[in-house]
A and B are shown apart, each in its own frame.
Chain A
Amino acid sequence: MSQVFWFLRRLLVAVTTVFVVAAVNFLLLQLPEGDAVDVLASESGGASPEYVEQMKERFGLNEPLHIRLAMYLSRVAVLDFGHSFRYSADVADLVFSRLGPTLILMSAALILSVIIGVGLGILAGVKVNRLADTIISFAVVVGAAVPAFWLGLMLVVIFTINLGWLPSSGMETVAAFYTGYDRVTDVIYHMVLPVATLSVYYIALYARLMRASYLEQAGMDFAVTAVAKGLPNRRVVSHITRTAILPVMTMIGIQLGAMFGGSVVIEAVFGWPGLGTLIYEAIHARELNVVMGVFLISSILVVVANLFVDLVYSLVDPRIEVSK
């Protein structure tokens, strides 16, 4: 019973968060100078005054601010993303068609960075102050410091231009018309560089966190007792890991939003057809319906992911009950 309450309460908080984010986004987006019509007309290299006036009317830019905010929030309530005149398409179609590639990119990078990061962190923790630890710790500092766009371009120079092993950009080979298994292979082939670039920072982050957490737990009474009892090394490591991983999981939940932000850069560099490229274009075009659509979807994504992390918590560590 208490679990149901917990879930409902969290859901309420989540929905409120999404609404507050939507309202703040809407107001923030009123700050930049210039609107969608300015951009459209200047892209066309000129327009008649009648044309400009006609477009402003059509885009609803002549309504006062509070009316537009109220209209927007009432549409958010029914998950109506609105229509984009610039793209001549419904915002929901635009956003959802781009959500898939971003999710593929992010989840691959997430899984990869958690597995490698946590693995390296444990290894460094077990071999603390030995050669393996030194190498890992050094690599982690470098990995966390390298800017993603630079790393991406360097990987392209090495693996695409010099070695010719991997494609430079895109999600699949255009006009190759692969289907089924071939298509999956093709997409994976295109994913290697962007996923690697996006993961490097997070591998470093999780490895560092995991190492610190592991060392902290290794000094705890339960760990010392386990060693004193003469448990095999493997069992000791697994005991410590289970408690040590909790802070890493918290971090994963928090970092999801940041990872989404990071994928904007990665998508631009690798021509990956995700939300990042869409929002970048849309901000410059002042196509606010699309920008707010992406913001809304990403805020929902982050909120849901955090809810999920909380649920996983209780599975990893039964001492934590969801009701508390």
Chain B
Amino acid sequence: MTKLIDATCSRRTALKLALGGGVAFLVPWGLTSSALAADSPQSGGTMIFLVQPEPPSLALYASSSGPIEQIGTKIYEGLLEVDAKLQPAPGLASEYSIADDGLSATFKLRKGVKWHDGEPLTSADVQFSFMEVLKKLHPRASISLKNLVSVDTPDDATVVMKFSAATPYLARVLSGKDTPIVPKHLMAGKDLKNLDLANRPVGTGPYKFVEWRRGQFVLLEKNQDYWREGLPRPDRLVGRFIADAATRVAALENSEVHLAALGAIPAIEAKRLDALPYLNMSTEGYGSLSSISLLEFNTKVHPFDKKEVRQAVSHVIDREYIVQNIFQGFGTPAKSCLSSQFSAIGINPGDLPNYPRKQDLARAAELLDAAGLKPDASGIRAEVVHDIIPYGEEWRRLGEYIKQALEQVGIRVTLRYEDAATWTRRLYTEYDFQFSSTYHYHLIDPVLGAHRFFLSSSIKPGVPYVNVTRFSNEKVDKLLEQAMVELDREKRAGLYHEFQAIIADEMPSLHIHDMQFATVSNTVVMEHSTSGLGPYGPWYDLWIKAA
């Protein structure tokens, strides 16, 4: 037995200390928790937040799309939660322990937890959630819980999970966002893919679902029987949908909505709004996404089939410039192919070659010469098409920058911008591309968010967000397989460092910057980012300051 968490441990106190001391200092313009500690929390009020775009359903148990998670995590809960330092904390399970060999884990469920319809939560719900729902329907859980073979329920309050192989990241994927616990009594024996529950969720969380007016809003109200005594504080939460970005900004400025997260507000506007006395901007609470921007190369076609050409591109683009001018200073230049957030779990490879912060045209020209791409009479070495990921203006600006930058070394670039469905099909089904911009969520562990982009076994035509570069390297496959089951933190980090060094040399994909997102909120909204999940957190400790 390696771990035991006391259910009554005051997580909030610990959080406040952490935030007040560290983050507040680093984020001088943000909504800092130290400033809030002076105010005592108030109950009541309605908090209206923007959700962009409107989700198709609220079936959190069958989707990992952002808008569904933003609303669903207030309604459903997981066995554990994620604290501000991205470490596991108690949730529906008041304590848990993982066996030393990593092959079993035991969870004690909290007493007196009720579903929103009044039924009690039992271990049978947990078993059903994992074995019948998440493993079968959830796009990410089906991967992260691949090794989960059974869930036993010795009694109503005890859950024992059995694994076929160790799962080092287990405790970090049990939050309501990744693996929500769902009500067996409303699902068992029904067609799980076509449930009324998908649009009228019933969970155990701090807020109950009331109404969804399509095209307008989702209304949630305080769960009076919530197991955390006296919480949540607001009477109501409203998730509003406004399709137009400029109107979203106007609604915030006019205090019609109180909070906008995750790119609902364009980066450049976020800075302007922050200057208004009644609005704040914060970049806290996005750690668990570990979002990173990159270029993915088609390693099977000219000219990016040669690693020197890929390395050359990495020397041509100016990461510092991109962060400052295209992403408005939100983020930091990438130093490896894994998110820098993983230093929280000991993965930090130090300086790797081929990730210069600044442009190095001389080195790029050398590399291109070495690859045999000599300039012709008019100075052109190659002509390529760059696909732009269709998820926002910044990527178009990035594409325009890349075009200009690569033309400095004689690579002529044509830009191509298509809609999401077309782009997805072109890359992931037809491999009809040379290189494309994109961004990945590495999530809370590399196994969950990063492995599938590099493993040979993840070259799967027709499946989005897998190994689209078709890069294949036996050593990499082996290292990642070992890291997947290695329980020792140091050894595991060592495996990743070796992996990162290989990718830095081969560069099937070129990582640009660790991305940051902004939450813009009205000054009346307090403590919206105390969980490591930020806008995806349960928001039970959020409160509204009476004006």
What is A's interface to B at a CB cutoff of 8 Å?
A: 32-35, 38-49, 51-52, 58, 83, 85-89, 94, 97-98, 101, 153, 156-157, 160-161, 164, 167-172, 174-175, 267-274, 277-278, 280-281, 284-287
Are A45 and B465 neighbours in the complex by a CB distance under 8 Å?
yes
Q: A45-B139, A97-B214 are in contact. List 4 more A-B contacts (CB 8 A).
A: A33-B426, A47-B463, A52-B463, A88-B56
Give the 5 A-B residue pairs with the shortest CB-CB distance, closest first.
Answer: A34-B421, A273-B215, A271-B242, A88-B198, A34-B425
B140 and A46: CB pair below 8 A?
yes
B217 at the interface (CB under 8 A from A): yes
Q: A52-B463, A174-B238, A175-B219 are in contact. Are A43 and B254 (CB under 8 A)?
A: no
Q: Which residue of A lies closest to B427 (CB)?
A: A42
In the complex, A146→B463 CA distance in Å? 44
Chain A to chain B contacts (Cβ below 8 Å), 5 pairs? A34-B425, A38-B429, A278-B214, A284-B419, A284-B420
Q: How far is the CB of B388 from chain A (nearest CB, A)?
A: 15
Q: Is the CB of B59 closer than 8 A to any CB of chain A?
A: yes
**A167 to B, closest residue via Cβ:** B256
Cβ contacts under 8 Å, B250 to chain A: 153, 156-157, 160-161, 168-169
Q: Are B193 and A85 in contact, with the CB atoms below 8 A?
A: yes
A46 and B452 contacting across the interface, CB-CB below 8 Å? yes
Q: How far is the CB of A154 from chain B (nearest CB, A)?
A: 10
* Interface flag for B253 (CB, 8 Å): yes
With both beta carbons as reference points, the residue of chain A lying nearest to B419 in the complex is identified as: A284
- A87 — which chain B residues lie within 8 A by C-beta? 56-57, 199
* CB atoms of B254 and A161 under 8 A apart: yes
State the CA gap A58–B65 with chains docked (Å).
Answer: 19
The yes or no answer to B236 lying at the interface (CB within 8 A) is yes
Least CB distance, B525 to chain A, in whole angstroms: 15
Q: Does B54 contact A (CB under 8 A)?
A: yes
- Least distance between A193 CB and chain B CB atoms (Å): 10
Closest B residue by C-beta to A265: B244
**B213 on the interface (CB 8 Å rule)?**
yes
Query: Which chain B residues (429-449) contact chain A, with CB distance < 8 Å?
Result: 429, 441
B170 interface residue, CB < 8 Å from A? no
B residues 112-158 in Cβ contact with A at 8 Å: 139-140, 142-143
**Interfacial chain B residues near A171, Cβ < 8 Å:** 216
Q: How far is the CA of A164 from the CA of B46 in the complex (A)?
A: 21
A42 contacts which chain B residues (CB < 8 A)?
420, 424, 428, 464-465
B422 x A32 contact (CB < 8 A): yes
Interface residues of B in 187-208 (CB under 8 A from A): 193-195, 198-199
How far apart are the CA atoms of A129 and B214 in the complex, in Å? 50
A44 and B216 contact, Cβ closer than 8 Å, known pairs A35-B421, A86-B57, A87-B56:
no
Given contacts A45-B64, A284-B419, contact A89 B199 (CB under 8 A): yes
Given A85-B193, A168-B256, A169-B250, does the pair A174, B240 have CB atoms closer than 8 Å?
yes
- Name which of B193, B194, B241, B242 has the most chain A CB atoms within 10 A of its CB: B242
Of residues B48, B140, B243, B429, which shows the largest number of chain A Cβ atoms within 10 Å of its Cβ?
B243
How far, in angstroms, from A175 to B47 measured CA to CA in the complex?
A: 9
Residue of chain B at shortest CB distance from A35: B421
Q: Select which of B195, B198, B422 is within 8 A of A34 by beta carbon.
A: B422
Q: Assuming A170-B216, A281-B53, is B139 touching A48 (CB within 8 A)?
A: yes
Which residue of chain A has the shortest Cβ distance to B63 in the bound complex?
A44
Complex formed: what's the CA distance from A240 to B219 in Å?
Answer: 55
| Chain B contacts to A: CB under 8 angstroms | 46, 48, 53-54, 56-57, 59, 63-66, 139-140, 142-143, 193-195, 198-199, 213-217, 219, 236, 238, 240-244, 246-247, 250-251, 253-254, 256, 418-426, 428-429, 441, 452, 460, 462-466
Name A149's closest neighbour in chain B (CB-CB). B244
Nearest A residue to B461, CB-CB: A49
Q: Which residues of A contact B428 (CB under 8 A)?
A: 38, 42
Which residues of chain B have C-beta atoms less than 8 A from A39's C-beta? Answer: 420-421, 424
Instruction: Report how far A46 CA is from B465 CA in the complex, Å.
Output: 5
Chain A residues positioned under 8 Å from B466 (CB to CB): 46
The answer on a CB contact under 8 Å between B256 and A47 is: no
Q: How far is the CB of B362 from chain A (nearest CB, A)?
A: 38
Q: How far, in whole Å, are A272 and B65 apart by their CA atoms in the complex?
A: 24
Q: Which chain A residues lie closer than 8 Å to B246 at the CB level?
A: 153, 156, 269
Complexed CA–CA distance, A102 and B425 (Å): 33
A87-B57 Cα distance, complex, nearest whole Å: 5
A287 to chain B: which residues have CB within 8 Å?
56
B441 x A45 contact (CB < 8 A): yes
* Bound: A47/B139 CA distance, A: 5
Identify the interface centre among A86, A98, A160: most chain B CB within 10 Å of its CB.
A160
In the complex formed, the residue of B with least CB distance to A36 is: B421
Kindly state the separation between the CA atoms of A97 and B139 in the bound complex, as whole angstroms: 30
Instruction: Assess the A38–B421 pair: CB atoms within 8 A.
Output: yes
Q: Are A175 and B441 in contact (CB under 8 A)?
A: no
Q: How far is the CA of A161 from the CA of B276 in the complex (A)?
A: 12
Residue of B nearest to A275 (CB): B215
Instruction: Contact check, A98 vs B421: say whether CB atoms are below 8 A apart.
Output: no
> Would you call A271 and B422 a contact (CB within 8 A)?
no
Separation of A87 and B196 alpha carbons in the complex (Å)? 11
A277 with B243, Cβ < 8 A, contacts A46-B452, A174-B219 known: yes
User: Which of B56, B57, B215 is A98 in contact with, Cβ under 8 Å?
Assistant: B215
Please, how many angstroms separate the alpha-carbon atoms of A59 and B421 in the complex?
A: 16
Bound-state CA distance A184–B370 (Å) is: 73
A33 in contact with B243 (CB, 8 Å) = no
In the complex, chain B residues whose CB is within 8 Å of the CB of A98? 214-215
Known A-B contacts A32-B422, A153-B246; the reply to A48 vs B142 at CB < 8 A is yes
Q: In the complex the two chains form, what is the Cα distance from A169 to B253 in whole Å?
A: 12
CB atoms of B424 and A38 under 8 A apart: yes
A161 to B240, CA, bound (A): 19
Residues of B within 8 A of A280 (CB): 243
A174 and B48 in contact, given A46-B139, A169-B242 (Cβ under 8 angstroms): yes
Cross-chain contact B244 with A88 (CB below 8 angstroms): no
The answer on a CB contact under 8 Å between A44 and B64 is: yes
CA distance A44 to B426 in the complex (A): 18
Contact yes or no, A273 B424, CB < 8 A: no
Among A45, A274, A284, contact of B215 (Cβ-Cβ < 8 Å): A274
Contacts of B193 in A (CB 8 A): 58, 85
Q: Is the CB of A168 within 8 A of B247?
A: yes
CB of A146, distance to nearest CB on chain B (Å): 16
- Partner of B59 from the list A88, A153, A157, A286 (CB cut-off 8 Å) is A88
What chain A residues lie within 8 Å of B142 (beta carbons)?
Answer: 48, 51
CB < 8 Å neighbour of B425 from A38, A58, A157, A175: A38
- Which residues of B sit under 8 angstroms from A168, Cβ to Cβ? 247, 250-251, 254, 256
Contacts of B236 in A (CB 8 A): 175
Residues of A within 8 A of B240 (CB): 170, 174, 271
Contacts of B199 in A (CB 8 A): 87-89
Residues of A near B238 (CB, < 8 A) are 174-175
With CB as the reference atom, state the residue of chain B lying closest to A83: B194
B42 → chain A closest CB, angstroms: 17
CA–CA, A221 and B462, complex, Å: 73
Roughly how many angstroms separate A89 CA and B419 CA in the complex, as a whole number?
25
Task: List the B side residues contacting A269 at CB < 8 Å.
Answer: 244, 246-247
- Give CA–CA (A41, B441) in the complex, Å: 14
Cβ contact within 8 Å between A47 and B464: yes
Q: Given the complex of chains A and B, what is the CA–CA distance between A50 and B337 in angstroms? A: 28
**What residues of chain A lie closer than 8 Å to B418, measured between beta carbons?**
33
> CA A47 – CA B215 in complex, angstroms?
27
Contact partners of B214 in chain A: CB under 8 A: 94, 97-98, 273, 278
Chain A residues whose CB sits within 8 angstroms of the CB of B65 once the complex forms: 43-45
Across the interface, A271 reaches (CB within 8 A) one of B66, B244, B425, namely: B244
